[in-house]
Structure 1
Amino acid sequence: MSTLSVCRKVLKSPGWLGFARCLTEKRPFSSELSRVNDLGPTTKRDGELRSTSGVGLGDGYLSHTDKWLQAKDPPMKTPQECIDEAEPIAVSATRVASYGHEDTTLGCPVEYIDLRDTSYERPAVCKYTGNKYYWDGTPDHH
């Protein structure tokens, strides 16, 4: 596909058409963005999977965050509450590498955490995953 045909395709996309419409009508582009946002939570573009997350499918929630902020019967724990309740992980070295997932292409970046001056009561916390680690006191020979 040539560069010219790619440019033509981009300029015909809905976002660019809205931008061009704002330029010709001499109004701010933010008004076009608010019009696009008024389409509702169930609107999805062909091939887009993010809007199939269940939001707006008759459950009364307008956003994913609303699902966690609403009172539920029976009450559900939020993901943060589940992370906070997890026990700290004992490590036999003074440093630990916190991975977001076993597969390095998924999850978050690796965070190397210094565990000196940590205990079960005062663990070090990974800023990405929320996992808690503490040094169990085993001599570290590294």
Structure 2
Amino acid sequence: MRERIIAAAVACDYAALQKLGDEKGKAVRFSYDPDQDMATTWRIQEEWAESPQPVLSRLVQVLNLPFYQEGNLIYWPTAFREGATAADYRALKGLYPDDQLQAMRKDKSYLGLRVGITVDGDWQLAVAGD
């Protein structure tokens, strides 16, 4: 599933991402508009005239970082886990501004994009924030 998400994101194929998210049921939790599907929300964020957000690029970057497993879920990045280390935060360099990463590390709370996929390949979440 991870590889398929990366391939769809690199291709900017929003329809494929939506299909992957719904492959094993409508279960993907994502940030922002709960009344809109994930693909539409992400396309709007990517195309915002005032402040475009690199959602798909960030998704690919996060899924290429180290992961950890908690129960049946595999999470990216490791900075989201309890007890995240300095190395976990260093791995995020370039993903978010340095001052933002320093603040998250100081607060011991990673608020950036995190992705969760079950061990059997069900994409469960792609959320940011608290």
Shorter-normalised TM range: under 0.3
Bigger Rg over Cα: 1
Normalised by the size of structure 1, how large is the TM-score? Answer: 0.21
**RCO greater where, 1 or 2, for CA within 8 Å and sep 6 or more?**
2
TM-score normalised by structure 2 residue count: 0.23
